[in-house]
Copies of this chain bind each other. A is one copy, B any other.
Amino acid sequence: MTGFDQATAVRRRPAAAASATAAYDVDLDPAWQIAGKPNGGYLLALLARAAVDAATADHPHPVAVAAQFVAAPAAGPAVVDVEVVREGRSVSQVRAVLTASGQRRVEALVTLGRLTPAAEPWWQDVPMPELPALSECVRAPGPTPPFPVPLLDVVEEWLDPASAGFGVGRPSGAGELRAWVRLADGRDPDPLSLLLAVDCLPPATFDLGVVGSWVPTLQLTAYVHGLPAPGPLRVRQRIRSVGAGQVDEVCDVWDDAGRLVATGHQLAAIRLPEGVRPAPRR
């Protein structure tokens, strides 16, 4: 098993001189894949790690990462090119591009800052879901999925049984999945692994009965709001809208102290199968 830090390692190439750009060699790890494609949150973490390394200001944490997924790369070697666009007093702004087999694969705009340990949020209004104890939850994937999901060996996802019905043909219809999430290597969460957390659950369209369709992410934006406490993360993935061949999905992540520490918002493509026709809920 490849741990998170090893799987997201970046190796800076020597640069000729002081430069606003840097290139990193990376190895896309086959363990962090779903159906032969690297997990989107994994790629976000990898791009952000290179961005943090390239910036010279004291901004060690990704606070916003907006990525466009152009084409899924295979496992193996790839390059991340980073350009530091601006280093300000409180944030640095960076562009990062992942290229593999000579093709651009992911482009990301990364905002870096410095988060303070144990800082309490000043105001939050995103109700935290109640979850049964981890020991009473169902470890994903449950029943054998129709394609290989090695990711679920390196990321433990313990689904609330009330939102795990899709695995046995009984989706709740709410368009929402809730789970405890922790890294199988025992590593505690940090801003980099939060970028993984906002895109590691199955698509919540599963809970609408749309299980057969692949839902490839087109665009994903992640925000990190605080340094997470040690312990498992509480993750809720929710569908906001489905239509016109696209899905709007939001994913909120709380740390073990009950603080909202990260949010992911994505637009994914979807092809709705004939016959699956829930009425709009509201």
Listed in ascending order, the chain A residues whose CB lies under 8 Å from chain B are 63-64, 66-68, 70-71, 85-86, 90-91, 93, 95, 104, 107, 109, 111, 113, 115-116, 119-128, 174-175, 208, 218-219, 221, 223, 225-226, 238-246, 248, 260, 263, 265, 267, 269, 272, 277-278, 280-282
Contacts and interface: CB of A to CB of B under 8 A. Distances in A.
A90 B239 CA distance: 21
A124 B241 contact: yes
Given A66-B68, A68-B109, A121-B244, 11 more contacts: A63-B246, A66-B109, A68-B85, A68-B93, A70-B93, A71-B86, A91-B218, A95-B107, A111-B218, A121-B241, A123-B242
Given A64-B219, A66-B66, A66-B221, A123 B241 contact: yes
A199 B84 CA distance: 26
Say how many copies of this protein the assembly contains.
2
Nearest to A127: B282
Contacts of A126: 240-241, 282
A225 B239 contact: no
A71 B122 CA distance: 27
Given A104-B85, A269-B91, A219 B123 contact: no
B64 A244 contact: no
A209 to B, nearest CB: 10
A123 B278 contact: yes
B267 A111 contact: yes
A128 B91 contact: no
A71 B92 CA distance: 12
A243 B68 contact: no
A41 B276 CA distance: 36
A245 B88 CA distance: 14
B225 A248 contact: yes
Contact of A124 (B67, B243, B245): B243
Contact of A221 (B125, B265, B281): B265
A248 B223 contact: yes
A280 B107 contact: no
Nearest to A271: B90
Contacts of A85: 68, 70, 104, 107
Closest 3 CB pairs of A and B: A121-B243, A66-B66, A68-B109
